[in-house]
């Protein structure tokens, strides 16, 4: 039986995010894709970034922040 994703966090493709690097840079971008990988240790969520984001833009220790949605 597969493990079910359990979270209050709701994210979707193309939602706005910020990449915050350890040296203080902030890059506004969006979620390019979302994949869930099921394994023996549970579910892993993988977020794909747009093609214009390079490895150099996302050094080790970079945080991904979801940009708050405004109420309509």
The pLDDT of residue 36 is 81
Position with higher pLDDT, 8 vs 47: 47
pLDDT digits (tens, 9 = 90+) for 18-66: 999 999 999 999 999 988 877 777 777 788 999 999 999 999 999 999 9
The model's pTM is: 0.73
Q: Which two tokens stand for residue 11?
A: 């994210």
Give, for 36, the enclosing helix (H) or strand (E). Answer: strand 33-39
The pLDDT of residue 8 is 64
Q: Is the pLDDT of residue 72 over 60?
A: no
């Amino acid at each position: 039986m597969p493990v079910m994703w359990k979270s209050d966090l709701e994210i979707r493709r193309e939602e706005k995010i910020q990449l915050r690097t350890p040296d203080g840079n902030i890059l506004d971008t969006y979620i390019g894709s979302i994949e869930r990988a099921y394994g023996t240790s549970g579910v892993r969520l993988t977020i794909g970034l747009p093609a214009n984001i390079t490895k150099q833009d996302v050094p080790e220790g970079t945080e991904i922040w979801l940009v708050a949605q405004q109420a309509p």
